[in-house]
């Protein structure tokens, strides 16, 4: 089926508009119209980024990779967690339902700095 | 002169460290199995973190465990046994250093006059090698033993780095429990809390609820654990959970500050928050099982 040029331009404009109204503020972020995709790199003993900002009610797709060993991501305030295995993308999908500041931490013991491997997930309007 | 153990601890600079934990349901223990049960006490020592360095937190890191060993050796009445509930050593990423620390710890506690001593790992001992170095030094990471009518179960919730007990060990626990009567007095030792004490600080066991479910049908169960470096008492149903102080540095109360960090050393109160636990097992209500025999010696 041939798509009229005008319709294509209109679709692109919609995507750009959606991107512009969702300012996530974190690093390594790409946006679709219906989800917030955020790449997070874990290594001993830190996350990058370690502050993740998402919008309430918009689906989130966290894509974790580990540079060294098994880590974890546990955010008890939002009741979400995943293991982060090296050598693969570890995906965690959720829809934030409440605003606030929620700490997260590595919950797979990873060494001498394990207890400081923490971050913050911000859910905003 | 033999001095009272509390006075000794004060002299050793570890004042106020001993408390007695009455085990719940203990007054019921005399009935049934506990024809073998007699009053006794044991000690729980925990979280010595041998190898830790940090003068702001403990300027006597190399001396605190030795002081505690001396304090225990000075007790007027010897405990029947001592249980170390994990984090014997402070973690290191170096396998050789881990083994060295475990050997040094073992050497220090070998000075204990009480020779009936049990060990279990914490995540600092076992989390990076799934318990390999610990097993070389001390043997199994989960096991049971019986003492004077009480069944003790050591559950390993640290060798799996995901802070889990794991299905295989849960099956082992289930099999062991099925051999016990429902009213058997049971003491469970763990390193991490089995319940969700404060998951934000990783103070939980991921599949701990499964263990609690297995224990719940048993009416006389107490769980003694370490990990959080402070006393904490909590009930899940009828099961009491008691956390012990550590022997290197205290940690703040759950959720009392944004980040978990050791409590700084207080020069005005050295060794505050450090110590060990005395647990008395006291049989309060003696009951008698009476049987009648005829003159030929046959039970009637």
pLDDT confidence tier of residue B291, bands split at 50, 70 and 90 = confident
For residue B177, the cross-strand partners are none
Sheet holding A71-75, edge to edge: A51-55, A118-124, A100-105, A71-75, A80-84
In a domain, B290, yes or no: no
Q: Residue B19 corresponds to which tokens in the numbers above?
A: 């408390």
DSSP assignment letter at B232: E
Q: Which residues of A92-110 are buried (b: 16+ CB within 10 A; e: fewer)?
A: beeebeeeeebbbbbbbbb
In a domain, B288, yes or no: no
Cα(B290)–Cα(A25) distance, integer angstroms? 78
What is the domain-level CATH number for residue B61?
A: 3.60.21.10
Tell if the CB–CB gap between A108 and B163 is shorter than 8 Å: yes
For the stretch B43-100, pLDDT in tens is 999 999 999 999 999 999 999 999 999 999 999 999 999 999 999 999 999 999 999 9
Kindly list the residues of chain A whose beta carbon comes within 8 Å of any beta carbon in chain B: 70, 72, 74, 76-77, 83, 103, 105, 107-112, 114-115, 118
Task: Quote the pLDDT of residue B29.
Answer: 33
Cα(A84)–Cα(B256) distance, integer angstroms? 29
Q: Search chain A and give the residue with CA nearest B262.
A: A115
Long-range CB contacts (within 8 A, 24+) of A23-27: A24/A53, A24/A54, A24/A55, A25/A53, A26/A51, A26/A52, A26/A53
Q: Residue B267 corresponds to which tokens in the numbers above?
A: 């020069």
DSSP assignment letter at B227: S
Comparing CB atoms, the residue among A70, A103, A105 nearest residue B161 is A70
SS3 call for B102 = helix
Q: How high is the mean pLDDT of chain B? A: 87
pLDDT confidence tier of residue B283, bands split at 50, 70 and 90 = low
Task: Quote the pLDDT of residue B38.
Answer: 66
DSSP assignment letter at B81: E
In a domain, B85, yes or no: yes
- Which residues from chain A sit within 8 angstroms of residue B127, using beta carbons? 109, 114
For the stretch B142-152, pLDDT in tens is 999 999 989 99
Cα diameter, chain A: 60
In a domain, A34, yes or no: yes
In a domain, A102, yes or no: yes
In a domain, B299, yes or no: no
For A77, the domain range is 24-124
DSSP assignment letter at B28: G
In a domain, A112, yes or no: yes
For B218, the domain range is 5-281
Judged by a CB distance cut-off of 8 A, whether residue B123 touches chain A is yes
In a domain, B286, yes or no: no
DSSP chain A: -PPPHHHHHHHHHHHHHHHHH----SSSEEE-SS-EEEEEEEETTEEESSEEEEETTS-EEEEEEESSS-EEEEEGGGTEEEEE-BTS-EEEEE---S-EEEEEE--S--STTGGG-EEEEEEE-
Tell if the CB–CB gap between A112 and B123 is shorter than 8 Å: no
Q: Which residue, B145, B96, B100, is CA-closest to B120?
A: B145
In a domain, B157, yes or no: yes
pLDDT confidence tier of residue B39, bands split at 50, 70 and 90 = confident
**R_g of chain A computed on alpha carbons:** 17
For the stretch B199-237, pLDDT in tens is 889 899 999 999 999 999 999 999 999 999 999 999 999
In a domain, B189, yes or no: yes
How many domains, chain B? 1
In a domain, A92, yes or no: yes
Tell if the CB–CB gap between B259 and A108 is shorter than 8 Å: no
Comparing CB atoms, the residue among B91, B199, B206 nearest residue A111 is B91
In a domain, A18, yes or no: no
SS3 call for B154 = strand
How many domains, chain A? 1
In a domain, B168, yes or no: yes
For the stretch A2-59, pLDDT in tens is 444 444 433 333 333 333 333 333 444 445 457 899 999 999 999 999 999 999 999 9
In a domain, A16, yes or no: no
Sheet strands (E) in B107-207:
117-120, 143-147, 150-154, 186-189
A contact test, residue of B49, B202, B259 with most A CBs within 10 A: B202
Distance to chain A for B53, nearest Cα, Å? 12
Comparing CB atoms, the residue among B158, B161, B202 nearest residue A105 is B202
Tell if the CB–CB gap between A107 and B258 is shorter than 8 Å: no
What is the domain-level CATH number for residue A120?
A: 2.60.40.420
- Which residues from chain B sit within 8 angstroms of residue A76, using beta carbons? 199-200
């Amino acid at each position: 089926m041939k798509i009229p040029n005008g319709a294509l331009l209109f679709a692109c404009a919609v995507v750009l508009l959606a991107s512009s109204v969702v300012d996530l503020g974190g690093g390594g972020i790409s946006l679709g119209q219906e989800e917030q995709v955020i790449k997070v790199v874990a290594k001993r003993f830190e996350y990058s980024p370690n502050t993740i900002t998402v919008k309430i009610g918009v689906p989130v797709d966290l894509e974790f990779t580990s540079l060294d060993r098994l880590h974890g991501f546990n955010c008890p305030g939002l009741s979400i967690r995943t293991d982060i295995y090296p050598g693969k993308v570890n995906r965690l999908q959720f829809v934030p339902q409440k605003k606030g500041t929620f700490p997260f931490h590595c919950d797979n013991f990873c060494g001498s700095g394990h207890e400081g491997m923490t971050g913050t997930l911000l859910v905003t309007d | 002169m033999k001095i009272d153990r509390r006075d000794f601890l004060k002299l050793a600079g570890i004042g106020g460290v001993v408390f007695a934990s009455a085990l719940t349901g203990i007054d019921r223990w005399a009935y049934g199995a506990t024809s073998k049960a007699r009053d006794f006490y044991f000690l729980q020592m925990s979280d010595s973190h041998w190898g830790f360095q940090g003068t702001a937190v403990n300027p006597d890191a190399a001396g605190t465990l030795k002081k505690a060993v001396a304090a225990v050796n000075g007790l007027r009445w010897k405990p029947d046994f001592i249980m170390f509930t994990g984090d014997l050593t402070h973690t290191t990423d170096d396998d050789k250093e881990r083994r060295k620390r475990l050997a040094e710890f073992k050497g220090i506690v070998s000075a204990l006059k009480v020779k009936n001593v049990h060990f279990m790992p914490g995540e600092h001992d076992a989390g990076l090698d799934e318990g390999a170095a610990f097993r070389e030094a001390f043997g199994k990471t989960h096991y049971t033993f019986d003492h004077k009518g009480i069944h003790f179960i050591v559950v390993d919730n640290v060798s799996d780095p995901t802070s889990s007990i794991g299905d295989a060990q849960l099956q082992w626990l289930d099999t062991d429990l099925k051999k016990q009567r429902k009213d058997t007095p049971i003491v469970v030792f763990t390193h991490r809390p089995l319940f969700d004490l404060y998951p934000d600080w990783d103070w939980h066991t991921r599949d701990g609820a499964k263990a609690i479910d297995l224990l719940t049908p048993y009416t006389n169960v107490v769980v003694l654990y370490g990990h959080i470096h402070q006393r904490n008492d909590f009930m899940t149903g009828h099961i009491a959970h008691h956390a012990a102080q550590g022997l290197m540095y205290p940690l703040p109360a759950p959720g009392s500050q944004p980040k978990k960090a050791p409590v700084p050393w207080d020069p005005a109160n050295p060794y505050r928050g450090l110590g060990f636990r005395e647990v008395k097992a006291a049989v309060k209500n003696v009951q008698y099982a009476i049987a009648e025999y005829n003159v030929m010696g046959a039970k009637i």
